[in-house]
Structure 1
Amino acid sequence: MTFDSVRGRASEGWATRTPSIVDRIGVSNDGRVPFSVEFSPPRDEMAEARLWRAVRVFERLGPAFVSMTYGAGGSTRDRTVRVTGQLAEETTLLPVAHLTAVSHSVDELRSMVGAYADRGISNILVLRGDPPGDPLGEWQKHPEGVEYAEELVRLVRDLGDFHVGVASFPEGHYRAPDLAHDTRYLVSKLRAGAEYSITQMFFDVDDYLRLRDRVSAYDPEQGSKPIIPEIMPVTSLRSVRRMLELSGSSLPAHLERKFDLAAGDGPEENRAAVREIGIDLATEMSERLIAEGAPALHFITLNYARATSEVLERLGDKVGSGAAEPSASSVDAARAGSASVS
């Protein structure tokens, strides 16, 4: 696929008409903070049905945007393109497609961008990606690929009228030698043309605030770009520990103890008790982030609607939509529709 062919496809139709994420989260909501949600490509028919149940719930709640993840090593490439395209074509939601550099040549990356453009997708979240097999293993550049996310940002921007976001890390990326290096890496991605960043999940709001301060101090211009915090309403301690292990993030000691006590020491964790603490924590974090001026709130859903819906209900009129406002009964209707979903 040639550079010109991708650029031509991205310069016509949807790719020039869909709003950017920065524009969408900047829509006035009478002081309310926009929210967005993250989905993952389904692995089988049952998981796909669950995903679409969650999609319909959130469609009624009106998130500013939704993102679709990309499996380790590009393992979900085809499903990611297909489902993200369906979100663009069959729903009222604004999708953001993840794109990772790992295991892909430059030609393959261009082909992916072209596939997104064909489906009317112009918002792309660029990530370096985790190695296949062992996400914490040694990262190896594809012989014909790119080494850093910064290069992938430039590649996507050069291909057409795409709006690019990147990842940021409140605790610092586990491969960065220290926070100073991590800050420089993030700023380099922003300077390359990224318009905003979405953080990795975290559980200490102070880590997010320190990240924001570090970037602003290092480069005030790039520091003015939105850093969107990612929040996970915990419903399973085992699941969140696995995600933390794979991401190199951590659970503060006092929260670890609190969740451990709630889970109990039996063979099966007390999911109801863990879930109650998780929803409380996500709500408290959201409230503080709003008070501290976060530009939006991005929720990890794991393709379930209920937990995030409960957090949004608790936040009430502190959160709004970056899209068309849902009706007054939307939260109640969405909550009813998610009653069987974690």
Structure 2
Amino acid sequence: MSPPIPSRATVPPAAATPVALSYELFPPRNATAAASLWATIRELEGTNPDYVSVTYGASGSNRDTAVELLHRLLTETSLRPLAHLTCVGNTAHDLAGVIAELLDHGVRGILALRGDLPQDPATARPPGSLTYARDLVELIRRVEQRRSAMLCAGKVAIGVAAYPAKHPESPSIEHDVEVLLAKQRAGADFAITQVFFHADQYKGLVARARRAGVSIPIIPGVIPLTSRRRLDRLAALTGVAPDPALLDALGRAGDAVESRRIGVRATVGLARDALDAGAPGIHLYTFNEHAAALAVLEALQLPRPPAVVRRSVRPQLVRA
């Protein structure tokens, strides 16, 4: 007689599943930029994102301003920050200290990145430095393990980067997937893609990753396609050109309003194609500007969980 087959809970249809939403911010460089950033933060806060990521300069060049921004997000807003952290040019000892500092501030999500290689090869790998993002993922897990009691036996969410187009330093797109698999095995929980301009690039990445055994969520990172100059710079960095028709339309736009309208429409189409392909959410690269991001979000009409009102609780004096 065959053993009984254990029953499995039914999974709700994909259409009923809320879609994840997140934004990327970067620390301000001066007081004027800080005022603009905080105006953007207040606008984005009203959309109830799942988290906002905060970038980290090469070799920790803006560490103090990044940590300050993370602290303010945690203490002055309802937003959950995801702290970027790069390992190139940093020793394991120094990075362990940074990770501990982030956890002490209340950060519970870290995006583990290799980071850009320094221009001077002599400074690329100081003694004791980490080489790859997977090494940083492993280090975060080791620090987490030592602090499990302080975290109430919880877990730090670790994100990593994924590449829809071949990484500029990679020999092949297949190698990029093997790197992503290694980061998953090291303890990564999810991946956010670098910028892409064609939905087929995202679909291809997911297909290759799943065949290789990558099971973590792969969230498409989407940039509002509203600036011809910005797209040209990104195309030079990624080696993948945007749609020539889009570039032409942006180049012929009469003003910033028309450029935004054209770019938002293209961005919405790209994001919808990724969502239709099964993307679990959308990560919007905001460049610290909220107008285009909010226009994209309004057009997408993402199914989202109900907003939870978070109120700060002040201790009350107990009188006898």
Q: Under a length normalisation based on structure 1, what TM-score does the superposition of the two structures give?
A: 0.78
2:230 paired with 1:239: yes
Return the offset for 1:30.
Answer: 4.0
Bigger Rg, structure 1 or 2: 2
Q: 1:166–1:194: 8 Å Cα contact kept in structure 2?
A: yes
2:38 paired with 1:52: yes
Letter paired with 2:240: S
Q: 2:56–2:66: 8 Å Cα contact kept in structure 1?
A: yes
Return the offset for 1:323.
Answer: 5.5
Q: Distance in 1 between matches of 2:307 and 2:110?
A: 18
Instruction: Output one character per residue of 1:117-157: Cα deviation in whole Å (capped at 9) or x when no partner.
Output: 111002100000013459xx999223221111111100011
Which residue matches 1:262? 250
Q: Distance in 1 between matches of 2:183 and 2:306?
A: 25
Indicate how the Cα distance of structure 1 residues 149 and 30 shifts in structure 2: closer, same or farther if over 3 A, else same: same
Q: 1:199–1:229: 8 Å Cα contact kept in structure 2?
A: yes
Of the three residues 235, 240, 261, the one matched with 1:250 is: 240
Which residue matches 2:259? 274
Indicate how the Cα distance of structure 1 residues 285 and 257 shifts in structure 2: closer, same or farther if over 3 A, else same: closer
Matches within 5 A, 1:90-101: 90-101=76-87
Indicate how the Cα distance of structure 1 residues 114 and 310 shifts in structure 2: closer, same or farther if over 3 A, else same: same
Indicate how the Cα distance of structure 1 residues 310 and 243 shifts in structure 2: closer, same or farther if over 3 A, else same: same
Letter paired with 1:71: G
Q: Distance in 2 between matches of 1:138 and 1:302?
A: 32
Unaligned runs of 5+ in 2: 1-11, 145-154, 311-320
Letter paired with 2:99: V
2:54 paired with 1:64: no
Which residue matches 1:286? 271
2:125 paired with 1:141: yes
Letter paired with 1:140: A
Of the three residues 183, 190, 194, the one matched with 1:196 is: 190
2:220 paired with 1:229: yes
| 3-state DSSP of counterpart to 2:46 | helix
Unaligned runs of 5+ in 1: 1-25, 327-342
Return the offset for 1:263.
Answer: 1.3
Greater CA drift, 105-114 or 299-308: 105-114
Q: Distance in 1 between matches of 2:158 and 2:306?
A: 18
Q: 1:157–1:163: 8 Å Cα contact kept in structure 2?
A: no
Letter paired with 1:170: P
Of the three residues 278, 288, 296, the one matched with 1:311 is: 296
Letter paired with 1:111: G
Return the offset for 1:49.
Answer: 0.8
Q: 2:109–2:157: 8 Å Cα contact kept in structure 1?
A: yes
| 3-state DSSP of counterpart to 1:225 | coil
Identity %: 36
2:287 paired with 1:302: yes
Return the offset for 1:235.
Answer: 2.4
Letter paired with 2:215: S
Q: 1:63–1:322: 8 Å Cα contact kept in structure 2?
A: no
| 3-state DSSP of counterpart to 1:201 | coil
Bigger relative contact order, structure 1 or 2, given CA contacts below 8 A and separation 6+? 1
2:211 paired with 1:217: yes
Aligned residues: 288
Instruction: Output one character per residue of 1:167-216: Cα deviation in whole Å (capped at 9) or x when no partner.
Output: 00001211110011111011000110001100001111111111111111
Higher helix share: 1
Which residue matches 1:205? 199
Q: 1:35–1:321: 8 Å Cα contact kept in structure 2?
A: no
Which residue matches 2:135? 151
Which residue matches 2:102? 116
Indicate how the Cα distance of structure 1 residues 43 and 133 shifts in structure 2: closer, same or farther if over 3 A, else same: farther
Q: Distance in 2 between matches of 1:291 and 1:242?
A: 28
Root mean square deviation of aligned Cα: 2.5
Q: Distance in 2 between matches of 1:249 and 1:276?
A: 26
